[in-house]
Amino acid sequence: MSEPKVGASPLSLELEEIASKVRVCTLCPLSKSRTVAVPGEGPVDAKLMFVGEAPGAEEDKQGRPFVGAAGKNLNSLLNLIGLNREDIFITNIVKCRPPENRVPTWDERNACSPYLKGQIRIIKPALICTLGNTALETLTGATSISRVHGQTMKKEDMLIFPLYHPAAALHNPKLKSVLESDMQKLNEALKQLQLPSSTPKRSGSPKLDDFMP
Ligand code: SF4
């Protein structure tokens, strides 16, 4: 995420404050193995938030989310429905790369959750797209993405749209076509919410108290 500009809005400054805390965070053991933390990036008034599992090797080097092969795949998927990376806020459940890209533990997810909660509270996305099983499970408690992908779920006052992780589709043509089909369903969901993908409107503030453990 870029440094706040002179005259940046209070919300942008709040978002940057979270990013600054993430960059020096030592709340869980992942701080010892990371190269740099990856707070997330995107506009403070984004109506769509995408949440993945954790930074990978390239993200860990650059400090930016979804910049590796999976990120390129995500960009193509967004383009399918007329969206660009600049339209969305994108982050992860944990902000530091787990060794060997292992799944983050619940202790790590819980330690990191105040940052994501803060980002959601500030941005107030109308819809959150989870990418992969870990994000889905952490945010909703659902454990099987194969049952719930491509449909809108309500969690408290939040609308969540589960998608497979774009990395999972890199070498699996079947999953790639499922993801492409789910993006069209996402586009339909945005229309039903009167949130056309190119100009989504802001909705009310989500309730977060019971959002994550
Ligand atoms: S993963 Fe989250 S809680 Fe753990 S060190 Fe990184 S920023 Fe802190």
The CA angle 169-172-174, to the nearest 5 degrees, is 95
Ligand 1 pocket test: which of 20, 21, 36, 108 has the largest number of ligand atoms within 8 Å of its C-beta? Answer: 108
From the list 30, 44, 17, the residue with the least C-alpha distance to 115 is 17
- Tens-digit pLDDT string for the chain (213 aa): 445 556 789 889 999 999 999 999 999 999 999 999 999 999 999 999 999 999 999 999 999 999 999 999 999 999 999 999 999 999 999 999 999 999 999 999 999 999 999 999 999 999 999 999 999 999 999 999 999 999 999 998 899 999 999 999 888 989 999 999 999 999 999 998 877 555 444 444 344 444 454
10-192 folds as Uracil-DNA Glycosylase, subunit E (3.40.470)
**How do the domains of the chain map onto residue ranges?**
10-192
From the list 123, 122, 121, 162, the residue with the least C-alpha distance to 139 is 162
38: CA distance to ligand 1 center in Å?
A: 9
CB-CB neighbours of 204 under 10 Å = 8
Residue nearest to atom 2 of ligand 1 (CA): 112
Is pTM beyond 0.85? Reply is: yes
Which residues have any ligand 1 atom within 6 Å of their CB? 22, 25-28, 30-31, 37, 94-96, 108, 111-112
182: CA distance to ligand 1 center in Å?
A: 31
Residue nearest to atom 5 of ligand 1 (CA): 31
